[in-house]
Structure 1
Amino acid sequence: MGPTYPARVTEEPLSGGHNAHEVVRIGGTVHRRGDGNTFAVRVLRHLEAVGYPYAPRHLGVDEQGRDMLTYIPGVTTDHPGQRAVGAYALGGRMLRDLHDATAGHALAAGRDCVLHGDPGPFNTIFRAGLPVAFIDWDSCRPGDRLDDLGYLAWTWCVQSQGNVPIDDQARHLRELRDGYGDVGADTLIRAILRRQTELAEVEAANAADPRHGAERRRHAEWAVQWATGDRELFQRHEDVFLAALG
C-alpha cells in the first residue's frame, strides 16, 4: 500500500456578524482571525466558567494563529418577521444575564459590568425564531449596562426600514425591556436616543476620515443614514413607545 495522507480540511466561509475579520467553519468549530483582543478571550472563558449559555466557547488557537470557537448553528435576523413569539423577552434576559454574570468581577474594572458592545440581531444567532447566543465579542468591554441595553433595544426593536408597524415596534420594545427588567421608561428612551446619536457621530467622523479605505467610508455613510433614520422615527413616535413601556 502507498502512503496515507490526512483528509483535507474543508473551510466554509461564514458571514452574518458585523465584523471585518476572516471567519470560517471547520466542522464543529469556528476559526476567526481577530484583532488580538485577549480581553474578549478572557470574557468568554469567564462566561464558560460561570455557566453562561449564550456565548460560544473559546477552544484555543489553531496553527494559523486564529481563535477557535464552538460553532453555534442557526441564523441572524434583520426583520421581526423572522423572530418568534418570546424572542424579544429572551433577548433582554440574555443581555441581563451577561451583565449580572460580570457585575463586580475584575473584568468589569470598576464599571457596572462587561458589555457585549454590539449585541444587535446581526450578532445574535437564532433558531426557530428564538435567540440562542450572542456572537462576535470583539467589542466587549467594561462599561455602563444602559449603553448595551440601549443599543440592544434600538437594533432589535426600532426600524425605519422594512414596513414594521409602530405599534409592533413599541410592543417589541416593552417585551425586551420586561425581559431585561428593572429599567424605567424614560431611562430606556434616553439610552436608545443616546446610542443612536453616538453611532451617527462616530460614523460621520469615519466617513470623512481619509485614512479609511473607500469601502470603510461607504459603510460609515450607510451607518449614519441607518442611525439617523431610526432616530428620526423614534423621536417622531416617542409618545407611542413611552405609552407601551408604561
Structure 2
Amino acid sequence: RIFTDVYNGGHRMAEVFLDRSTGRLLHCNVLGDRFLISHILKSAHTLAVIHATPHKMNHLLHLCLNLPPSRKIPEYPRPSNHSLHSLSIFPGTKWCGAGNVAMNVYDLGKARDSDMCCRDHDHSKDIIPAFRQKYGIKNHRFYTMTNCAEDRKLFNCFLNVGSFTSVSLGVTFFDILKTRCFEYGYPTKCARYKYSGGNSRKKSCQVFTIDASKRRKWRVFRPPNFLKAFMQAKKGKNITANLWLSDDMKV
C-alpha cells in the first residue's frame, strides 16, 4: 500500500508492508522528493494509492522511522534492481535518500551523525536536478547530481562517522546507486594495466592518473568504491589517492 500527502500540498510518500495475518507494520520505503514521487505515482495503480492528510502522514512516518532496526536494516546492502528501495529515506535518518522527511533543518533521525552528513549535502548549491541540463551536462537520472566537491564531502563524512549506518549509506549511495557528480577539470586515464587470459590478453587497469594533456572542461565523474575505501581507512591506509574517475575515460 502506498500513502502520500502530495495531493494535499506535501512532498512525502511511504510504501508500507504489513503482516497479512496481524496487520503489523513490517517495513517501509519512504521518499521525500516530489519529482520522484510524481513519477512513481504515474505508474502506480490508482486503487493502491491512499491520499493522506499531513497529520496522517506525520503519524505514519513516525511509525516507519521508529521500526526496530532488526526489521529494517539488513547487513551491508547489496546491489538491487529495486530502485524505490535504494532511493528511499534510509532507516534511522530523515535526510538520507530521495529528498527529506524532516520538519525543519534541526530535525534529525536517530542516526544523528549520519543524518547530518546528508542534511549538509542536501543543501548543496551547485546541482543539476533530474533530467535537467547545466554546464553542457544532461542529468539522465531520477535524482539530483551534485558538484563533486560536495559529493567528496559526503563520501568523507560517511567514512569519518564510521558507524554501521554511515557505512551502509556509503555503500548504497556510491557503490549500489553508483551516483555521479560533475566538476570542471581534466579527465582521468589508465597509467598501468594488468594483462591476463593467456593468448586473449585481457587487460584491466590497475593504476589511474589525471590526464593533464587533455583540456579542462565540465565533466561527469564517478566515485571510488566506498566499501573498499572504508576497509583501507580501517587499516590506516591513505585513501586520498583514490581518484574519482571521469566518465569519458577510455580504458
Q: Same fold (TM over 0.5)?
A: no
Q: Could you say which structure has the larger radius of gyration?
A: 2
Query: Which is helix-richer, 1 or 2?
Result: 1
Structure number with higher strand proportion: 2
RCO higher in 1 or 2 (8 Å CA, sep ≥ 6)?
1
